[in-house]
Structure 1
Amino acid sequence: MGVFSTTSRYSLAFLVMMNLCLKAMASESDIDFSFKNFGKVEPHLALYGDAEVNNHSSSIQISGSTNFSAGRLIFRKPINLVGANPRTMVSFSTYFAFSISGENGDGLAFVVLPVEFPLNIFDGGSMGLLRDRKIKFLAVELDTYMDKTYNDVNNNHVGLDIETPVSVKVGNLSSVNLVLNNGEKLQCWIDYEASGKRIEVRVSKFGETKPVDPLLFYYPLDLSQMWGDEKNGVFVGFVSSNGNSSQKISIHSWSFKSRMPPPRWMHSEPLDPDNVVEIKGEEGIRSIPKRSDCTSRVVLALVFGAGCGVIVAFFIVFVWIVVGSKRPVAPEELAGKGNEFEYKKFGEERAIKDGDGNGEK
């Protein structure tokens, strides 16, 4: 029992140390924060332009004080979207509750901006961004104004903007019976999966569960091409402008979480058409991976198997050393007493038998 308990303690300590090491590696890039309301000015948040805290509703009103109002709400600490390996991007998920009043303004956008973006400068650009400037940015817009300049489909849509206000993908909110600018509180989920290079956007009424199907889905989106060399990280937050209207836009709550992606061998990625060969046969057309792609998968599997083998072998040797070094030892006060007792007893019994025999003769 003593040997087993000692081995269990060593094994448990080994597993705990491995778990702490993995958590420490992940925490270098992971950021997790949540603001359930905004009853006061949070030290981790920065407000620019017309953005201000509305103590009455415990929210942050980003724009809407006057016509041509614009504002920004930014998390102060830069987010690192690149892991230790420059080719390893970090996934993120964000959730926020918002409301937009009934006028037709530019709406609201969740943005990812480079750290050199001039946050305190406004020049009348759409959505509270800057006009005519070559700045890398990613934006998920909740647009309530149909601007033909940017090929908007209507005045009630979600759009994905990559370095330009012209959306590369649009989701029509009218198709899910939602209206952005009726003053009702809504909620939005944005999920970016780095290993799959995809982004998903979901919107629903406040209090409802997260929809299963995304309103907007886009693939491939490789943020390493935009911010692979951004060693100082990027800013995340919200921008808004109301144009020539009195539209008011408020953020009621906000949470954000970044995370390192799992290893490639643990994650199923969308099929890449460039790595597929079509074969025509009697059963129709079948798609199979190219030989180069199969070879790389086999190599990865072999490397992973070898790594697991090394870990298992190390653990077996570790347990064998611990068990082998523990041998049962008799207590010092009992050493040698057992044999002496047996010897004396045998001698006494022999003497009695000899005595009995002589008496009979």
Structure 2
Amino acid sequence: MHSLVQLAADYNNARSPDRSYRPIYPAIIMSMLLLLNLIFSPVVLILAALALAQDEFLFSGFAGANITVDGVATVTPNGLIDLTNAQESLKGHAIYPAPLPFRESPNGTVKSFSVSFVFAIYPNYRPSQGMAFFIAKSKDFSSALPTQYLGVFNTVNQGNSSNHIFAVELDTVNNRDLLDIDANHVGININSIVSNKSNTAGFYDDKTGSFNTLNLTSAQGLQLWIDYEMQSTRINVTMSPLSMGKPARPLVSAIYDLSTVIQEEAYLGFGSSAGKDGSRHYILGWSFGMNRPAPAIDTSKLPRLPRFGPKPRSKVLEMVLPVATAAFVLTVGIAVFLLVRRHRRYAELREDWEVEFGPHRFPYKDLYYATQGFKNKNLLGVGGFGRVYKGVLQTSKLEIAVKKVSHESKQGMKEFVAEIVSIGRLQHRNLVRLLGYCRRRGELFLVYEHMPNGSLDKYLFHGDDNKLQPTLNWTQRFQIIRGVASGLLYLHEEWEKIIIHRDVKASNVLLDGEMNARLGDFGLARLYDHGIDPHSTHVVGTIGYLAPELACTGKVTPLTDVFAFGIFVLEVVCGQRPIKQDIREKQPMLVDRVVEHWNNGSLIDTVDIKLHGDYDVDEAYLALKLGLLCSHPFMDARPTMRQVMQYLDGDRITPELSPMDTNFDILATMRNQGFDPYVMSYPCSTGSHGAASILSGGR
């Protein structure tokens, strides 16, 4: 049997397009296989041959090779794969024709594998769109975009786990909307055009350890290796020029279990979308190994690349060119000088801390055009932290919300930095995503994803005389309460640091297109490491949402957010603001009115009358009890946000509150003492700051 397997391997090697394998005459092979077929099972012969064929392959050029190409991709007469063929706005793919088994069994883990290939990208009059190597569940990429996304994804499926696509991108465009690091980088992508990890193209010198940049669009052959190790689930991507071997240190390295991505059988290939640049993407050689290194590619046997650049110039052109160049340089210099002087007033500010903490930075020009010059017709709202404008990015057509803040605002630079550092790295379905920022003289800009349905307070407090906003039904309200609770739990316990929002209220809760709640406006947020006792020297927030203990200690904790969340729950259920401005009102504080109904046994009468009785009584009763429990005047009596989620999910029974031990009368006394619509002073003999100013503001 061993001789039989070896024979099958020799036959497979003889069919390989790599000329380094010694050819064996097919007639002899077939005669020996027919003879052995009389002794051994034909099934065993076929399986043995297929197993060897699927373990590895090597192409030193592609002339006559069994490779599937589609779109504008072609195989040139001398054996190059040309993915885009200098076409514009079209895509091309080159795929190994048969799927390869990446698992021992359907539920098994993905085996170790290694890929190596040699490529070259020829730019044209615009920057090239780049290319990608992929391992995918299908070789049908008809739905991929022809002008971008490397010919692999589209705007609909991009980011979906159902794609089952692992890719390594060679990206030569800096697309800010896709979080690209530069216009010359290599990235590891999982089911998405947005890279999980990326680095500028280049290699690390084995002797000195220094990093050397490589230009992806140099029209020179470059070699790239992709190695996946099953046990450690480590992905290494390494590259180098053809003149040297594989460097010891990889360019990009990431830990990711590809068993969640690559299916039992998958296709290997390359893709590119030409965009409007007319560039060319060549593959010169390709090898693959399963549970072994990819076979070495003999670069001396690779097909020759076409000549790059214009044809030799005439003597006349060589004489005229220096004069024309000098005139051109002089003209450009004058134009640049005039443009710099004209646009100097739009210069942006950059400081050292932005390199370490700042998320993606937008050019001011992009924001200016997106908001049509920050015109009032695009104004979404005005709050204590600035004015918010709606905009549409010209390149990606992405709708954004741009918050424009003055340096002289009450919050100022300190809160601006806090918001960038905190929300810029948060990823949660119930938090507004910060896309980036910009700074220029006297102005700050924060760029968020646009929430088409605006802030929650417009739906709760529009009044019967204003029908511009529909009344939220009970199901929507309960989902909003649960969504904000989930977001606060993530901030308090589930992120790498503890984030205390310090301004939870209805006007800072935004609604997306499906009326899902997104907590935003992190201008007052504070960050702490887990296990560190937080402290603060200033009381900030909004009147009506401030925990009583802040008056004396000035110390913010997650429980101060819980207090504000309790007030928020009451205003969502009752449809009323936390404080009534009517001086004739006996109980101006919403929580006091709810407590009074609780003591009278008429708690359910506090539910918003605009619901006209159409609500779930049990859920409303639960929400009202939870609002009172979270806004308890004594912080030790409040639940954590994890307990709140357990109450809302029915995994935990809410404790009963009796009229005798609520102690909410203490809270009423504290709130009504020295009340002012905008500023409240809390006297405290134990503090060093005397009175604290309370800042009110929202989006």
Scaled by the length of structure 1, the TM-score of the pair is: 0.60
Instruction: Tell me which residue corresponds to 2:133.
Output: 110
Deviation string 1:237-288 (CA, Å, 9 cap, x unpaired) is 1011221101110000001111289xxxxxxxxxxxxxxxxxxxxxxxxxxx
- For 1:144-223, list aligned pairs within 5 A: 144-173=172-201, 175-219=211-255, 221-223=256-258
1:48 is aligned to: 70
Conserved? CA contact 2:181–2:199, under 8 Å: no
2:57: which partner in 1?
Answer: 33
* Letter in structure 1 aligned against 2:76: N
Tell me how far 1:118 sits from its aligned partner. 2.2
Please state how far the C-alpha of 1:207 moved relative to its aligned partner: 3.3
Partner deviation per Cα, 1:103-157 (whole Å, 9 max, x = no partner): 4122111101113x52345432510113112422111001111111111111111
CA distance in 2 between counterparts of 1:85 and 1:243 reads 38
Paired amino acid for 1:226? V
Q: Which amino acid aligns with 2:233?
A: K
Larger Rg: 1
Query: Residues of 2 paired with 1:122 and 1:164: CA distance?
Result: 12
2:281 aligned residue (223, 236, 249): 249
What are the superposed Cα offsets for residues 296-354 of structure 1, whole Å, 9 maximum, x if unpaired? xxxxxxxxxxxxxxxxxxxxxxxxxxxxxxxxxxxxxxxxxxxxxxxxxxxxxxxxxxx
Letter of the 1:111 counterpart: F
Structure 1 residue 95 corresponds to structure 2 residue 119: no
Partner Cα separation in structure 2 for residue 226 and residue 61 of structure 1: 28
Name the structure with the higher strand share.
1
Measure the CA separation in 1 of the matches of 2:232 and 2:54: 18
What is the aligned length? 235
Distance, in Å, in 1 between the alignment partners of 2:236 and 2:53 is: 21
Does the 8 A contact of 2:92 with 2:272 survive in 1? yes
**Residues 25-58 of structure 1, C-alpha deviations (whole Å, 9 max, x = no match):** x948952111101223x22x100101001114x2
Report the equivalent of 1:60. 81
**Alpha-carbon distance between aligned partners in 2 of 1:85 and 1:164, rounded to the nearest angstrom:** 24
Question: What is residue 340 of structure 1 aligned with on the other side?
Answer: none
| Identity, % of aligned positions | 29
Pairing 1:4-15 to 2, within 5 Å after superposition: none
Aligned residues: CA RMSD: 2.9
Aligned with 2:153 (options 120, 130, 141): 130
CA deviations over 1:211-256 (Å, ceiling 9, x no partner):
110001001x1111123xx34x111110112211011100000011
- Secondary structure of 1:176's counterpart equals strand
1:165 is paired with a residue of what secondary structure?
coil
CA distance in 2, matches of 1:207, 1:86: 42
Distance (Å, rounded) in 1 between the aligned partners of 2:289 and 2:63: 22
Q: The residue matched to 2:279 in structure 1 has which SS? A: coil
C-alpha contact (below 8 Å) 1:29/1:260 kept by paired residues: no
**Match status 1:225 vs 2:260:** yes
CA distance in 1, matches of 2:120, 2:250: 20
- Shift in CA distance, 33/260, structure 1 to aligned 2, threshold 3 Å: closer
Matched, 1:236 2:239: no
Instruction: Name the SS for the 2:168 alignment partner.
Output: strand
Asked if the contact 1:156/1:179 (under 8 Å) is kept, the reply is yes
> Would you say 1:143 and 2:175 are equivalent positions?
no
- How far residue 177 of structure 1 moved from its aligned partner, in angstroms, is 2.3
Give the distance between the partners of 1:129 and 1:85, measured in 2 at CA.
25
Tell me what 1:341 maps to. Answer: none
In the alignment, the residues of structure 2 paired with residue 149 and residue 170 of structure 1 have an alpha-carbon distance, to the nearest angstrom, of 15
Deviation of the 1:158 alpha carbon: 0.3
Give SS of 2:261's match.
helix
CA contact 1:47–1:72 (8 Å) conserved in 2:
yes
Task: Report the 3-state secondary structure (helix = DSSP H, G, I; strand = E; otherwise coil) of the residue aligned with 1:63.
Answer: coil
Paired residue type of 1:90: K
1:119 aligns with 2:154: no
Q: 1:50 to 1:84 in 2, by over 3 A?
A: same
- Partner of 1:149, secondary structure, is helix
Q: Distance in 2 between matches of 1:85 and 1:148?
A: 39
Which residue in 1 is equivalent to 2:413?
Answer: none
Question: CA 1:88/1:146 → structure 2, altered by over 3 Å: closer, same or farther?
Answer: same
Distance of 2:238 and 2:183 partners within structure 1 = 18
Describe the SS at the equivalent of 1:257.
strand
Structure with bigger RCO (C-alpha 8 Å, 6+ apart)? 1
Structure 2, unmatched stretches of 5+, are: 1-43, 203-210, 294-699
Is residue 96–residue 267 contact of structure 2 (8 Å, CA) maintained in 1? yes
* Contact kept? 1:101, 1:248, Cα under 8 Å: yes
Task: Report if aligned partners of 2:141, 2:151 keep a CA contact under 8 Å in 1.
Answer: no
Question: Which residue identity lines up with residue 31 of structure 1 in the other structure?
Answer: D
Contact in 1 for aligned 2:166/2:261 (Cα 8 Å) = no
Q: Contact 2:229 / 2:235 at 8 angstroms: preserved in 1?
A: yes
Q: Hey, what does 1:332 align to over in structure 2?
A: none
Q: Deviations over 1:80-103 (max 9, x none)?
A: 111137233211101111100134
Who is 2:332 aligned against?
none
